[in-house]
Chains A and B, each alone.
Chain A
């Protein structure tokens, strides 16, 4: 199993869940956690849900992917309050997360994954 995990953060619960399902199919051995929507299940970001996704991830080193700006800002605040190493990747949400999951699952090393994500930078 990869030592690096993946955290997904979306404004919409079903979107986060859907991307999680997509990633799980390509990387069933990876620790992938996700947070979607507000505490009430509405569209938005939840600090508590994101904090839980970080905590529940089995890896101490994670790549984090997000859909829109406030999911990123909320993730940043959650990262400041955890001991884990969580790296936010400013790449296309689905393509980026899928690429990272596939590569990590295939045993690709950290540097190479980061390199492969670069062309997907969108933000």
Chain B
């Protein structure tokens, strides 16, 4: 179940992973996008971390709401409204029931698809969020499962976002948004938020 402390720890861990892999994310994005995903995400998570450090929280949904606003305001690229919508969706669901991680992540996925209109198989962050939601439902989520779904975006052809202009040439490349989403879920697993 989500608590203020484990939610903060989860998001700080996510922020650190983004920071560590900033250059790698931009490098991936320079192949199939506009090369700014690492910088954009790093700017967003830095603002998020600062915001969370200031907050005096009682409920985990407040942490998620502040994270949403920081990412939305500071990322600057398409990932801003997408991560912003994901965290806003998770915040609203956590307000209903902070114990059901599956429902919370599912609400995050719904926020992303509502905003970006992407479906499974279009080589976007949805291709990580969607299988993770399924794994959470079945209780089979692991670091390997996260990494497998990230890796599987290599075999997909982009049909949403800027990468879609590349068509066939997007094959064989990882989707940067899928990779950054992977870090979010790795951080979640490492933070032992998911109850057995």
Partner of A77, one of B36, B77, B84, B161: B84
**Interface 0/1 of A62-79, CB less than 8 Å to B:** 000000011001101100
| A/B pair count, beta carbons within 8 Å | 47
Which residues from chain B contact A77 at a C-beta distance below 8 Å? 72, 81, 84-85, 115
Taking CB atoms and an 8 Å cut-off, the chain A residues in 22-52 that contact chain B are 38-40, 42-48
Cβ of B166 under 8 Å from chain A = no
Which secondary structure characterizes the binding site on chain B? Answer: helix
A44-B36, A69-B161 known; A74 vs B81 contact (CB < 8 Å): yes
Taking CB atoms and an 8 Å cut-off, the chain A residues in 54-101 that contact chain B are 69-70, 73-74, 76-77
Cβ of B131 under 8 Å from chain A = no
Considering only CB atoms and an 8 Å cut-off, how many residues of chain B contact the other chain? 16
Taking CB atoms and an 8 Å cut-off, the chain B residues in 115-164 that contact chain A are 115-116, 161
On whether the beta carbons of A44 and B115 are closer than 8 Å, the reply is: no
Partner of A46, one of B73, B78, B84: B73
On whether the beta carbons of B84 and A44 are closer than 8 Å, the reply is: no
Cβ of B40 under 8 Å from chain A = yes
Which residues from chain B contact A46 at a C-beta distance below 8 Å? 73, 76
Bound-complex Cα distance A76 to B84 (A): 12
Q: What's the minimum C-beta distance from B92 to chain A, rounded to whole angstroms?
A: 12
Q: What's the minimum C-beta distance from A106 to chain B, rounded to whole angstroms?
A: 34
On whether the beta carbons of B81 and A73 are closer than 8 Å, the reply is: yes
Taking CB atoms and an 8 Å cut-off, the chain B residues in 79-133 that contact chain A are 80-82, 84-85, 115-116
* Chain A contact residues, CB within 8 Å of chain B: 38-40, 42-48, 69-70, 73-74, 76-77
4 extra interchain contacts, Cβ-Cβ under 8 A, other than A45-B76, A46-B76? A39-B74, A39-B76, A44-B77, A45-B81
